[in-house]
Amino acid sequence: MASNSSNPYSAYVEQLEAQVYKTPSEGFKWRLVALYILNGLAVIGAITQFTLLWIDAKRKRNESLWLFRLVQRPQGRFIVTNAKVAHCIMSVVCLAIGMGLYWELWKVYIDHGSQAMLGAWQICPALAFYTHGWLVSWGQLQAYLLTPDQINKHMLTPMVANTLFVGGGILMGAGLIASCVTLTHYSREIWDHYVVVANGLKTLENNFNGTVDIPGLFALQPEIQAISRTSQTLKTATFGVTPFIVGGILLVTVVNFGSIALTRIVRGQIKQKFEQLQKSESQWTQESIVSIPADDRRRSSAGQSGGRRESANGTGTRSRNNIRNMSRDGIGSQVAQARQIMLLQKAERDLVVISAMVGSVAFVATGLTVWSIVQQTLNRTFAWPVVEFGLLSFNWLYAGVLAITYCFFCHNQWVNLTPPASANDSKSRQNSMQTSAVMVSLQHPSSSDNDQSTEKVGGDFTGSQPSSWERKGSTSSALDPLAPAIKPAHTPITIPAGAGSRSTTPEPTSQPEEGSTRILWGNHGQNMPPPPPSPKANEPINAFFEQSSGQAKRKRLHKRSATGFLPEKGVQLKEVFPGDAEVWKDALHIASQDLQSDVPSISASIVKHITTTLAKAPFNVDDLSTYQATALSLRDRLGKKWQDTQTFYTEKNPKRVYYFSLEFLMGKSLDNALLNLGQKDEYRESVSKLGFQLEDLLDVERDAGLGNGGLGRLAACYLDSMSTTNLPAWGYGLRYQYGIFRQLLSPDGAQLEVPDPWLDHSNPWEMARLDASVEVKFYGEAIRGEGGKGPGAWTGGLDVLAVPYDLPIPGYKTDNVNNIRLYSSKPKKAFDLASFNQGDYLGSIREAEEAENITRVLYPNDNTLEGKVLRLKQQYFWTSASLADIIRRFLKLSLPWILFPDHVAIQLNDTHPTLELMRVLVDEEQQPWDTAWNIVTRTFGYTNHTVLPEALEKWPVPMVQHLLPRHMQLIFDINLNFLQEVEKKFPGDYAKMCCSHVFDRVAYLAIIGSHKVNGVAELHSGLVKEMMHDFVDFFGPDHFGNVTNGITARRWLLQCNPGLADLITSKLASDTWLTDLYRLKELVQFKDDPEFQKKWYEIKAQNKDRLATYIEKNLGITINRKGLFDCMTKRLHEYKRQTMAILAVIYRYLQLKKLSPQQRKNVVPRVSIFAGKAAPGYYIAKLTIQLINSVCKTVAADKDVSEALQVVFIPDYSVGLAEIIIPASDISEHISTAGTEASGTSNMKYCLNGGLLIGTQDGANLEIAEEVGDENVFFFGNLTPDVPALRKAHHFGEARHPPELTETINAIRSGLFGNPSVFEPLLSTISEDGDYYLVSDDFCSYLEAQKMVDQEYLDTPSWTKKSIHTVAHMGKFSSDRAILQYAEEIWNVEPLKVPPS
């Protein structure tokens, strides 16, 4: 809490918190994380060791996994402790308690949580470590006391030694338990008092009114005294138990280090006993071989030691009986010695590995823990660096000791069980085969001649196991005297393959190959055939038929890999063919003849598609079929250019731009493609000769339902400009089945939404790429990586297929054809036949419906939780599939990941996440966290389009955790890392940290995950910096920039206004202005030319007539073509203030009603044209549409004003409709509240077509005014800096509505325009709810601007001159300029022109 100099309690609160919450050293948090990881690894290791011990005990059937056991020895009965078992059990306990301690430290010192249990957690590790060491040491003491040849050398008798050790241990343990109870009790008591004091002080601080509350302070005095009294008691108790702790440590440490001396004695005994056994064994073996009949000896030397073959006269059986009898008499002492050695080996392993290392390290850690507790209890400075070093060192050593222990254990338990790979591995083994063959049955006198031996081919063993770990066979020698001399009873005996044997069971049918071995596991099992080999992953499924057919599999001549085909270096892609190259080349040459640009070739291509692709006869062809065939014919030509472009890019390997946008408002493609390819005249002639009109075919085409407003149209313009400027680029979006919606109007004028079936007649421009489909996962479970930064896992859940469709985007007068890849969601399992057969017909397609809903519509209504989930699904589905495609393309290059940003630039068109690339790099590509984040930030650029709250969307954390669990983990980790960086750069600035967290703010996540953030107009970019000032402070101002939006003149002048485009081309003597829009400035010299003005005016009149005809045909409203066409066409939103526009129309209507008929004739006739869609869940915007239509209906019915005023709302606004409306406008409305519109592009389109602008000083309006001059723009309203004060005045009820607005609202409420109650929620946003968008403040200024428009329009030459001047100064607002600015300042991408084919 920040201190307040005027509040005396603040200092007390800060002082109290500083005493209680000790600030840890820098990096303490991450060292705690390191301790967690080390503890976790150690726990896993300890559990693994215990599991191996359990397996060991199960195999040694004569032993059990005991912890304490009463043993009878010559000196009496002793309780023997199994040091290894005690070590394993207590390791798990100690490490678990250690993790609890670290968690408690985190809660206290990082999260500033309760300290009530801190004392208990701090002493518990000491108690656990002490118990651990005490038990292990007790086991070591028993091993020392009970060692053979050492019993009579002890200073104390075993009974006395055990009594002293147990008694001392219990005494020290009691001291530790007492300290644990004491610390727990008094720590909780101190914390309880502190909570009372802290709450009391905070209450006094909050209630401070300038006067100190003395009684309140006195009321807290008893609690403060109690804290001091309890702290003193705690100190005394701590000093009282300290001697017990130190004594216990010394006692156990002495035993631990004393046991090291025993290891030397044990090691010497092992060596001595082993040499004795070798000498005895060698002597006995020679005597045994002499007594074996020669026939059996030959068979033994041939390798038949494990068989049961007898000679004809039965000498084999007699020989073995003789040998068995000899073993009972002659080898008994050797067996006893072997058992003795095995016991000594176990003692050595326990003492060397566990005693000398683990015990010592454990008690050093105990001492460090106790010392830290004493220091903290004395209220001295808590020496975090020392304590941390001690604990961290202990954990590292502990983990190392465990690893060494496991290595010893695994070596001693498993290496000796591994049979040799071959009988010929060593010459020395062959020399001992005779001895091994004889000794195979010596150790089990109970075995009879009818026993069967277990045979197995291979390196593993099966069958029943022997009952003891006594050796049944041995090798000739052991080079290492400390190596294990006793092997388990099922240690394999190796005999050469091919040495036949006779057995009571049949031999397996499949014999081992030459050079392989048979391994016999004694005579306690049965002959087992070798298991069939496991099939390999690359084996065919139906291998039987492939092997039996006798035909070799045909070799493929060409194969496309998972990442795409790349030839060898130096080979051109055009020269690579799957089969016969000459056949391919001839076929391609013939196919290219059909793609010629002359009229006969075009006609033939159209007819071919009509008769083959569409399978229609000429007499049955209509406009739709001809349009489809024409589009397919043109797509063939685009496809060839697209192939050449992509092949050229692949060969040159340039850095590519990938433009991510959820919207691509493409409009109609046929006319645009014809213009860009320069083939409109040829196709017009061809279609005409076939009996159709090109204009009719253009009308048949439906707008692609891939966008809604200016955002999507901007993306479409940018893709067009990228192709025109020859930038290697791709667009990525979604293929919506029904677009956003088709807008209809109800009888009362309300908006109705119905599906837009734009794909009903298929889309001839798209090319499905089914082979490039990818899977996208939702839901499931996620596991964080190690330390939060390691590779994580994401399993389970629902997998959805992303099927790509490509749309070619041709450049204007260039051979470059770029691409938009749109993904459609398809189910991985389209139909559940089992559910269908059970009668659950809906359930059989439920999964398919859930998958397909993802790309069903654009921007589903998010007023419900399901809508929010679907929107998030759309974003992730699209980004995941798109990045998978980009990564696939990058992997073809076989380059390191650090070079990814040098080949890929991704631009986010609005607030879209960068998380998926981070997940792929960390989880799938195993990249280090910092490297992955560096790649991400260098790859992405982020374009912010508005500062409105809904654009800076927030995702509910539980929703993201449920839908994308792994990504939520990444968000938390990214947020944590970023806040740590903020803290380092701005230490102590917690306000900045609070404002910088990103875990639920998509825009913030896009900012920190991008290397550049740009606004889309100068004013807007400044507002972004102001709003994101914390990020500007962190990254610096260069992280933020501006790229003012632009539009393409090919679509928005050449295509939609061909008459004006032809006039401009004729005056400029070329059409190069279409790619260099700054050339329009040359028109300024003609603006005073009356002849040029006349032609200009006539073209405007023709466009107005075209629009009027459309309205009359589709809406039945007769339009006054001499009126001023006032257009406002954009999506409905409160900040765009269509509400203010219609209120001004109502006010105009009311004033007209007050005039006489003669006065009305002197008024400039006005045609107010509205168009746009409101989001389905945007109730206020939909009410605005209904009010516009109600006014339209009222005005149309009033014959008194029908000549002076007309109001029209054109439903289902689209790109195609905009191409009709925009060229016809005289004035266009761009009247958003100052500071709310980022840029706008409709203002640019209207001005480029000769319409003047009325608007506020917002967005790109300001920059347009800078270019065309303020005298050619009609500005009104308050400025951006005035907005906060005006909103504050409304909030506190200080604002007053002007009488003009009051009159207008009263007219609505009077019922003049229908049921007033319907519009009351809309009017309340202005009159009662604070008027957030300042309609009342700008209303009068808006009316004055409209009067100026009327006055200027009366002067036709002056108006026309303004129109020409405006068009001439629109060069800055070209999308070509914007794209080249992006390429230079953000993407670092160079143009790459495709050479003509």
Decide if 1297 is catalytic. no
Q: Which of 735, 1050, 1095, 1136 is catalytic?
A: 1136
Decide if 1245 is catalytic. yes
State the Cα–Cα distance between residues 253 and 361, nearest whole angstrom: 10
Per the listing, tokens 């005016």 go with 1097
CA distances from 1119 to 46, 1056, 1268 (A): 88, 21, 30
Q: Which of 609, 912, 945, 1104 is catalytic?
A: 945
Number of H helices, E strands in the chain: 48, 25
With H, G, I as helix, E, B as strand and everything else as coil, classify residue 1371. helix
Strands 517-520 and 817-827: unpaired
Whether the Cβ atoms of residue 471 and residue 326 lie closer than 8 Å to each other: no
Retrieve residue 1215's tokens: 């790109």
Sign (positive or negative) of CA dihedral 110, 115, 117, 121: positive
Retrieve residue 1331's tokens: 């008027």
53 contact partners, CB below 8 Å, separation of at least 6: 65, 84, 85, 88
Decide if 912 is catalytic. no
State the Cα–Cα distance between residues 695 and 688, nearest whole angstrom: 10
With H, G, I as helix, E, B as strand and everything else as coil, classify residue 980. helix
Q: Which of 1245, 1362, 1365, 1369 is catalytic?
A: 1245
Per the listing, tokens 């990228």 go with 722
759 contact partners, CB below 8 Å, separation of at least 6: 705, 737
With H, G, I as helix, E, B as strand and everything else as coil, classify residue 807. strand
CA distances from 840 to 217, 831, 833, 847, 1221 (A): 72, 12, 10, 13, 51
The single-letter code of the amino acid at 320 is: R
Nearest to 967 by CA among 837, 824, 777: 777
Query: What is the C-alpha R_g of the chain?
Result: 44
Nearest to 1170 by CA among 1204, 1131, 1112, 1120: 1131
Alpha helices in 788-895 (DSSP H): 833-837, 846-852, 865-891
1094 contact partners, CB below 8 Å, separation of at least 6: none
The single-letter code of the amino acid at 319 is: S
**CA angle centred on 266, ends 261 and 270, rounded to 5°:** 155
1272 alpha-carbon distance from chain centroid: 50
State the Cα–Cα distance between residues 149 and 270, nearest whole angstrom: 13
Q: Which of 1131, 1137, 1173, 1287 is catalytic?
A: 1131
> SS3 letters for 1316-1348?
HHHHHHHHHHHHCCCCCCCHHHHHHHHHHHHHH
Decide if 574 is catalytic. no
Per the listing, tokens 């559940």 go with 832
Strand order from edge to edge, sheet including 517-520? 455-457, 517-520, 493-496
Q: Is 551 exposed, middle or buried (0-12, 13-18, 19+ CB in 10 A)?
A: exposed
Q: Is 755 exposed, middle or buried (0-12, 13-18, 19+ CB in 10 A)?
A: middle
State the Cα–Cα distance between residues 382 and 393, nearest whole angstrom: 18
Whether the Cβ atoms of residue 1014 and residue 1386 lie closer than 8 Å to each other: yes
Whether the Cβ atoms of residue 1196 and residue 1202 lie closer than 8 Å to each other: yes
State the Cα–Cα distance between residues 713 and 710, nearest whole angstrom: 5
Decide if 945 is catalytic. yes
Q: Which of 1048, 1241, 1256, 1304 is catalytic?
A: 1241
Decide if 1241 is catalytic. yes
The DSSP 8-state label assigned to residue 1047 in this structure reads B
Nearest to 657 by CA among 1396, 1397, 1395, 1381: 1381
Residues annotated as catalytic (active site), given as ranges: 945, 1130-1131, 1136, 1241, 1245
